[in-house]
């Protein structure tokens, strides 16, 4: 039976990855500061621990796992990573998890390790045009991310690649583009725009008004969780290509368009009040040429399919909270 360690197994992507690996027949250990918020973990063993502490990392890697998935990070949507107020914590906390985990993985001769980088590593200068952003993997340098979150991700990518070159650590790296779905953070300040608009629409009676940061002409693409997991598993299950590679959708949409899609799914007609807020880059879309070339696959679900599933789940959370 194959074994895997999932770091950040109490979070959105990590908890879904635990389920996916269990479905594939793995023995899975999870580690996180907390248990998953919305459903019990399916991990065979779950350790509560802080990966900034090397002792915890040593106890987490208590055997030679076939695979390690490193999702642990201090992260959130635009309201958390682009305000500037959390930069020190984001950089310190996330880099400590990465430094420790890659060193323990190497020293304990653990198996292949996956690192979840981000579209936020791409230079701001290539994402100033809402309709024509550039995110090909080779456009990462000269570097110029617009956030310290992005700089930490880029530094950690480099550190994983250096461990690969100098010490032979078996590494796979993906740059995720805004992953969403059920059981993701939907309130509290760390939620990303798909969850934020599902919540706002669910909370607002037909004919009411919701708020949106910026003019709504900024663009993004959003990837449903199941497709993210599929991409990660495909990257981990082959020997020829380590990345970094984009794992994202190439269905670009404006934030106004995203809000409109949620209203349509909910069957509500709401006004949008545009207010100042943390915006991030003007435009972003996933360039999927490299993933198609290297893995012979790319995500292909229409955004509306994943958004319908996500709205249904967030609407349930909102109704439950209102009881
Ligand atoms: P998440 O916040 O839901 O999960 C991260 C988990 O890491 C949390 O459960 C948190 O408690 C845990 N964690 C943080 N610090 C820790 C520590 N010191 N010790 C142990 N656990 C710790 O985020 P997510 O959406 O599941 O993201 C997973 C990974 O993917 C992160 O590295 C994130 O930066 C990256 N990523 C996510 C997206 C996205 O859209 N969700 C996009 C790009 C990159
Ligand atoms: N979260 C949120 N909430 N965003 C809003 C809102 C709102 O109420 N109103 C408008 N927006 C706008 C933001 O200003 C931003 O321009 C856009 O919606 C997208 O915001 P997010 O979905 O929060 O984040 P992002 O796409 O800019 O960045 C996220 O994705 C990266 C990977 O692609 C972040 O989660 C990063 O941490 C992540 O790495």
Q: Does ligand 2 lie within 6 Å of residue 118's CB atom?
A: yes
The verdict on residue 323 lying in a domain is no
| pLDDT for the residue 55 | 97
| pLDDT for the residue 85 | 96
Contact 233, 161 (CB under 8 A): no
Same domain, 198 and 147: no
What's the average pLDDT block by block, 10 residues per block, for the chain (323 residues)? Answer: 98 98 98 98 98 98 96 97 97 98 92 97 98 98 98 98 97 98 98 98 98 98 98 98 98 98 98 98 98 98 98 98 92
The verdict on residue 194 lying in a domain is yes
The verdict on residue 174 lying in a domain is yes
Marked catalytic residue, from 26, 115, 122, 149:
149
Q: Residue 192 C-alpha to ligand 2 middle, in angstroms?
A: 5
Q: Which of ligand 1's atoms lies nearest the C-alpha of 72?
A: 7
CATH number at residue 40: 3.40.50.720
- What is the rounded CA–CA span in Å between residue 158 and residue 180? 26
Same domain, 237 and 149: yes
Mutate to test the pocket of ligand 1, among 13, 34, 121 (most ligand atoms within 8 A of CB): 13
Q: Which residues contact 134 (CB under 8 A, 6 or more apart)?
A: 122, 126, 127, 287
CA distances from 82 to 2, 78, 147, 263, 310 (A): 39, 5, 6, 26, 24
- What is the rounded CA–CA span in Å between residue 302 and residue 280? 24
Total tally of structural domains belonging to the chain: 2
* 149 catalytic residue (yes or no): yes
The verdict on residue 47 lying in a domain is yes
CATH number at residue 205: 3.90.25.10
Same domain, 163 and 39: yes
The verdict on residue 175 lying in a domain is yes
The verdict on residue 243 lying in a domain is yes
Same domain, 185 and 108: no
Mutate to test the pocket of ligand 1, among 55, 71, 101 (most ligand atoms within 8 A of CB): 71
The verdict on residue 294 lying in a domain is no
Same domain, 169 and 207: no
Same domain, 87 and 197: no
Instruction: Print the domain residue range for 112.
Output: 3-179+223-247
The verdict on residue 297 lying in a domain is no
Same domain, 95 and 212: no
Q: Which of ligand 1's atoms lies nearest the C-alpha of 9?
A: 9
pLDDT digits (tens, 9 = 90+) for 142-190: 999 999 999 999 999 999 999 999 999 999 999 999 999 999 999 999 9
Q: Does ligand 2 lie within 6 Å of residue 178's CB atom?
A: yes
Same domain, 194 and 175: no
Q: Does ligand 2 lie within 6 Å of residue 180's CB atom?
A: no
| pLDDT for the residue 110 | 80
Same domain, 169 and 190: no
Same domain, 138 and 258: no
E strand residue ranges, the chain: 3-7, 27-32, 45-48, 67-70, 112-118, 171-176, 179-180, 209-213, 219-220, 223-224, 245-247, 253-254, 271-275
Q: What value of ipTM does the predicted structure carry?
A: 0.99
Same domain, 78 and 18: yes
Nearest listed ligand to the Cα of residue 80: 2
| pLDDT for the residue 109 | 79
- What is the rounded CA–CA span in Å between residue 113 and residue 97? 13
Nearest listed ligand to the Cα of residue 33: 1
Same domain, 147 and 206: no
């Amino acid at each position: 039976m194959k074994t895997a360690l999932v770091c950040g197994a109490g979070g959105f992507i990590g908890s879904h990855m635990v389920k996916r690996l269990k479905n594939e027949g793995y023995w899975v250990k999870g580690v996180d500061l907390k248990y998953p918020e919305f459903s019990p973990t399916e991990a065979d063993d779950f350790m509560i621990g802080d990966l900034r502490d090397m002792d915890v990392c040593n106890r987490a890697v208590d055997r030679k796992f076939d695979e390690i998935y490193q999702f642990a990070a201090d992260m959130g949507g635009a309201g958390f990573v682009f305000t500037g107020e959390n930069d020190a914590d984001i950089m310190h906390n996330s880099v400590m998890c990465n430094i420790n985990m890659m060193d323990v993985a190497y020293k304990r001769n653990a198996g292949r390790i996956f690192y979840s980088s981000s579209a936020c590593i791409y230079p701001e200068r290539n994402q100033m045009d809402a309709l024509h952003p550039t995110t090909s993997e080779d456009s990462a340098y000269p570097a110029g991310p617009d956030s310290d979150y992005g700089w930490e991700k880029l530094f950690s990518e480099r550190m994983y690649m250096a461990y690969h070159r100098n010490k032979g650590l078996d590494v796979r790296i993906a740059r995720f583009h805004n992953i969403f779905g059920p059981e993701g953070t939907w309130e509290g300040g760390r939620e990303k725009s798909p969850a934020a608009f599902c919540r706002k629409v669910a909370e607002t009676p037909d004919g009411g008004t919701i708020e949106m940061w910026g003019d709504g002409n900024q663009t993004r693409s959003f990837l449903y969780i199941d497709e993210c997991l599929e991409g990660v598993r495909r990257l981990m299950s082959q020997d020829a290509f380590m990345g970094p590679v984009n794992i994202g959708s190439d269905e670009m949409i404006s934030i106004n368009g995203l809000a409109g899609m949620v209203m349509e799914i909910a069957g509500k007609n709401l006004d949008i009040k545009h207010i100042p807020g943390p915006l991030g880059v003007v435009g972003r879309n996933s360039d999927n040429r490299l993933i198609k070339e290297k893995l012979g696959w790319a995500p292909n679900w229409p955004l509306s399919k994943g958004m319908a599933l996500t709205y249904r789940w967030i609407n349930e959370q909102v109704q439950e909270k209102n009881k």
